[in-house]
Amino acid sequence: MSFKHRCVQDLAWVIQSPPVISGEFQQIHWLNQTDCQAEYLACLPALHQLDKNPEPLKQVLSIHKPYVLGKRFECFVQYWLHISPTFELLHQAHVLRQITHTMGEADFIIREIATGKVIHLEVTVKFYLGTGDLSAMHHWYGTNLKDRLDIKFNRLRHHQTRLAEYYPELMPCPIDESWCLFKGRMFLPENQPVLPDFFAKDCPQGKWRYRHEISDAPSFLALQKQDWLAEVTTCETQHQPKLHIIPNPVNHSACFALCTEEEPGTIREQERYFILPNDFFNTSYNE
C-alpha cells in the first residue's frame, strides 16, 4: 500500500487486510479475503485521490479519541463506505429499541449498488494473544483478560449479526442479508508459529514475548494504540512513531513493531509484537 499519509494507510488496511475469521455461519456471510481485495481494488482510485488531500478523513477521525480503537475503526469503515463505488451507506449505529428496552445496535445498513439488496453489516477489530492450547478459542485473550475471542465470536454469531432476524420490525428498512467484517491481528507465542484452523487464511498475525525473553533493542518501535492497524513505514503522521528502547521492567502490555532502517530516516516494519509483563496471564490486567 503505497500511501504517504498514515491515516490513508490505515483506511487502506481496514479495506484490504485479510479478515481474522471468515466463512458462512448460520446463513450470515463473514467477509473473506477475496471480498476485501475486490473492494480495495474498487476503492483504489479514491484512496489515491484522498492521499493527495487527507484533510476530510482527518476531520472524521478527529471526532473520536484516537485510543478508543473500536470507534476509530468504525470511522474508517464509515469513510470506506463513503468512497466505495460498490455500496451506499443508508444508516449507521441504528439503535433497536423496544418500548423501554434496547435490544441492540446495528453498526451499518448498506445497499449493494449492483444488486440493490440491503445489507446489515456488523464490524469489529480485535487484537488477541494466544496462550496454552491455541486450538481453543477461550485461550485467546485481549490486553484486558476479560476480553476473549470465544466470547466475542459467540456474541457476533448469535446476537449482533442476527438482529435483523430477531427484530425485523425494529430495523429502519427491510434487510435482505446480514454480513460480518472481523478484522484485527492475532499474536502467537514465539515458539508456536501456526494459527489454528478457525482463523481465516492469511489472517494478520504477530508474536508476543515476555519481557525477560527480549533484550533492549532500539529496532523495536513503540506504537500508540491508534497505530495498531496498518504496518508501519516512514510516512507523514501526526504522531510520528519513534524507535524506542523497551523499558525494564514492563508494567503493562505494550505493542511494538520490529523495524529495519533501510536507509537513514527510512524504516519498515518486519513484524508486530506484544511485549508482556512476566506475570501477565496470572494477573487481572485491565487497560
Average pLDDT over residues 31-42: 98
pLDDT digits (tens, 9 = 90+) for 123-170: 999 999 999 999 999 999 999 999 999 999 999 999 999 999 999 999
List C-alpha distances in Å: 165 to 4, 90, 159, 175, 179. 42, 18, 10, 9, 12
If DSSP codes are grouped into helix, strand and coil, which group holds residue 217? Answer: coil
Cβ atoms within 10 A of the Cβ of 136, count?
13
**Per-residue pLDDT at 222 exceeds 90:** no
Average pLDDT over residues 164-187: 97
C-alpha grid cell, residue 193: 508459529
Give the per-residue pLDDT at 217.
59
Give the per-residue pLDDT at 51.
97
Rounded distance between C-alpha atoms, residue 73 and residue 60, angstroms: 11
Q: Where are the domains of the chain?
A: 6-205
Residue 208 corresponds to which amino acid? W
If DSSP codes are grouped into helix, strand and coil, which group holds residue 96? Answer: strand
